[in-house]
Structure 1
Amino acid sequence: MKPKFAIGDIVAVEGYKDRIFYVDERRKVEASDKHCVSKYVEYDLTDAINGEWIEADEEDMRLVCREEASEDFLWNYDMTNYPEPTSTAFRYTEINYVREEAVGMAKEPKETPKTARAESAQEVAKRKRETDGLLDEYNDYMRLYESFGDAEYKTKADGVLAKMRREAGE
């Protein structure tokens, strides 16, 4: 029995419309009773946006993207109308609030904060867009320089290249 999904893959789960989850863990289960033995794979999943934790069976899951492409996928993912959690399941983003409330230090906020993974993905997406813009600008100036031979285009291209190097060195 080979699992369909790897750790780190992003999947959709039946019953959780328009939501995406990271595969955190998988278990090969062999259950038996007096009539039969059944083998299946069970997964622990974390909502990629709000951190809700759920369990799901393999047949209820659909691959959205593999782990290698998950960062790129989240960079371009539109989170504006992302659904709220549908169950009362425990969410990792609530860990600190639960502990503080238990000792009477603070109340749970009205909105669940974004997970660190989602914030990181947004920051990476922003940097990627900025880099892509600079590369486009550099390529445009170099094409103009090659077409017309005007040294001003080469100077501007060199300036863009210097800016990319400064930002890469940060």
Structure 2
Amino acid sequence: MKYNDKPKFNIGDTVVITLYGTVGKITKIKHIDEQYLYEVNESHGLYNENCLVLLAEYRGEMPDKEQIDIEYKFFFGDLVQVNGYKGELFKVVGFRTEIWRYQDDAWEDIIYELTRVTDGEWLEADEEELLLIADADQADVFLKKYGYSFSKHQQPSLSLPPPRDNLSLKIDRLLDAYNDYKILYETFKDEFYVSTLQTITKQLVDLSNSRKERLEK
């Protein structure tokens, strides 16, 4: 085989992979065993020059475009329960669709990215693993105002917390706010949330001291 001292294609060229009829851009060129191999769209595979044609020079038939309609059951901020995490709550912070195509089969997987309400731990889960507890508009209200208990195979049961005095209610609200801002900080790493957490902590200390003094009287 005649050795070419220069690559036929350049990084950035738009080419057709003739094996599949797909279009992409050259993202890397490698020189191996006296031949040039090309990476397309930052994929892991390499193609030799015989498998590629510049799009402007391609005379074959392009494959038909495929339109895919995806219906999402959950959205940003929704409060969900995850199979295998009994009694724990997560918020939806992202989602993506993975599209799989083979010669005799095809499907789409929807993957949701979640953070646990209690400590901000990150988790990925399939759509069928999730149970909606409260949509985004009601999630914070649910967390702050309702007690909850869960069974792995049952819908969540709700119960109002017992009445408390004003001091206890203030402490509970501050604890709710602290948990919310903690999740925000762990998610976005914004120093603004640190100062807010410090302010809430000081208020909690003051209220706890007040309650202690009341009990000692």
TM class by shorter chain equals 0.3 to 0.5
TM-score, normalization: structure 2?
0.36
TM-score, normalization: structure 1?
0.46
* Rg larger in structure: 2
Task: Pick the structure with more helix per residue.
Answer: 1
